[in-house]
Structure 1
Amino acid sequence: MSVRFLVDSCVSRAVCDDLRASGHDVQWVPDLFDGDPEDEAVIDAALSERRVLITGDKDFGEWVFLRGKKQPPLIRLAAMSPANQVRVVRQVLGSHRAELERAALITATTKRIRIRSWREAP
């Protein structure tokens, strides 16, 4: 089953290409916005288009939890090479798709995946 993604500019375009090759609907932030958009604009785009946001920016998770705003499902890729980004996104999709459907925050490193429900926000 295809998933809709919005991939942030700090994530390798290789992730977009790999997801598209796997049949997913993918938008890349630099293709949607002129310049560097504010985090809120990226979150709003993901919400309005019902997309999973993939980013390397830890501010997105903090922004949502601190402000208690509505949020999209989010995969945060913590400091890794483009090749590892592709591998880890594949791993998250293979093992944690149900959590994404429930709008989780998934933080992934090359060694570990942590899942947190948005309902845990204050």
Structure 2
Amino acid sequence: MKFITDENIPKSIETFLKNLGYNVESIRNICKGATDDEVMKLTAEHLAILVTSDKDFGELVFRFGEKIPGIILLRVNDILKSQELLKKVLKEQKELTNKFIVITEKGYKIRKMY
């Protein structure tokens, strides 16, 4: 499974995912300053799951029908709590494709994208 982290995701989350054995790229390294549309396109081209804290991606998918392999919307301010919940999601959800996963302090919710 491959992930692309948005510029708003701390580098420590990128490192955390890499330490779990995942293939992770950062928009900071691929195309710094990319627009949301460019991020969507790059994520689709890389067949990756986008990890972001930007709620706009939900609107792009659900309102405008943009296609992307999957999205994890990280809405937790504490880094250690984010890592704990992200690890839980990855353990419990073997397939992330076609899913919009919102992680909050209370846990996570999943919605199919299309």
When normalised by structure 2's length, the TM-score is 0.93
Instruction: Specify which of 21, 26, 38 is matched with residue 23 of structure 1.
Output: 21
Taking the TM superposition and a 5 Å limit, the aligned residue runs for 1:1-122 are 3-34=1-32, 36-98=33-95, 100-101=96-97, 103-119=98-114
Counterpart secondary structure, 1:57: coil
| RMSD (Å), alpha carbons | 1.2
CA separation in 1, counterparts of 2:76 and 2:104?
A: 7
Could you give the per-residue CA deviations for residues 28-65 of structure 1, whole angstroms, max 9, x where no partner exists? 1111113x211010111111011010000100011111
Greater strand fraction, Structure 1 or Structure 2: 2
Task: Kindly indicate whether the alpha-carbon contact (under 8 Å) linking 2:76 and 2:103 is maintained by their aligned counterparts in 1.
Answer: no
The count of residues paired between Structure 1 and Structure 2 equals 114
Relative to total residues, which structure has the larger helix share, 1 or 2? 1
Runs of 4+ in structure 1 over 4 Å off? none
Which range is displaced more, 13-22 or 79-88?
Answer: 79-88
Taking structure 1 as the reference length, the TM-score comes to 0.87
- The whole-number CA distance in structure 1 between the counterparts of 2:79 and 2:10 is 5
Give the superposition deviation at 1:96: 1.5
Distance, in Å, in 2 between the alignment partners of 1:21 and 1:112 is 22
